[in-house]
Amino acid sequence: MKKTLIIANWKMHFNTHQASIYLSRLNRITSIHRNLEVVLAPTFLSLGQLAQEVDPRKFKLAAQNAYFKDEGAYTGEVSFSMLQGIVKYVIIGHSERRIYFNEDLPMIRDKVAAAYRNKLIPILCIGETKAERLANETKRVIHDQLTTALANLTSEEVRTIVIAYEPIWAISTFEGDIAKPQEIQKVIDYISYQISELYGSRVAQDVQIIYGGSVNSSSITSYLALDNCQGSLVGGASLNYEEFANIINKAYLLRK
């Protein structure tokens, strides 16, 4: 049984000093929960520092992004190979990367493959816009994003991937609608179904599907109570260490 994943995506917030203070404060009010894996995703600049300070019994680290080439003349980029020994996870395909930086399906496919090539676990973000949802295109969008991203993987690799369903229409940065648990359940079921069709039911059972989309301490329990929802990717609510600690505690109480 895999641990429930609670992931803090800090996005472009906190300098190195602020990140270190946050970690210290969170560490003081957070216990070791053996049924949870708590993951922090700071900026690249803070990763090296936090890797020296983090208690690995309590927290793991993730990168928010990486480039799919292992090395070369790619000014300003950070490769997956450079992250080995620093992080366990890498977030790939976040809606902000897709929208603001024009990351397309082939690029995300190559990033997922690069993560496995460098022995890192991808947190693959997929989700539809409000317009796509209203046009009843959710399943098509999820199908295309999922099947393309997994195209170059073996079934053994797929077993270990984390898939974060983040409907863009429910993210406060964009449309910011409230996602009802029953709506999320339908998509989680569809994701599991698609993996089962591609790789078999046993692989589908091993894949961790988590939910993200304006999650906070008030809503986390309702989402984690969904069938086959095995964690959450938390954005804005993770910037407050007390709020994030509340999310961790509620997840622990639900799963203990």
The DSSP 8-state label assigned to residue 197 in this structure reads H
The DSSP 8-state label assigned to residue 65 in this structure reads -
The DSSP 8-state label assigned to residue 207 in this structure reads S
On whether the CB atoms of residues 64 and 43 are closer than 8 A, the answer is yes
CA distance 63 to 183: 29
* Catalytic residue (choose from 37, 94, 96, 132): 94
Q: Specify the 3-state DSSP secondary structure of 37.
A: strand
Give the residues across from 67 on adjacent strands.
79
Please confirm, yes or no, whether 183 is among the known catalytic residues.
Answer: no
Please confirm, yes or no, whether 243 is among the known catalytic residues.
Answer: no
CA distance 149 to 173: 24
CA distance 156 to 165: 21
CA distance 162 to 42: 18
**φ and ψ at residue 6, rounded to 5 degrees:** -120, 115
CA distance 176 to 201: 34
Q: Which residues are catalytic?
A: 94, 166
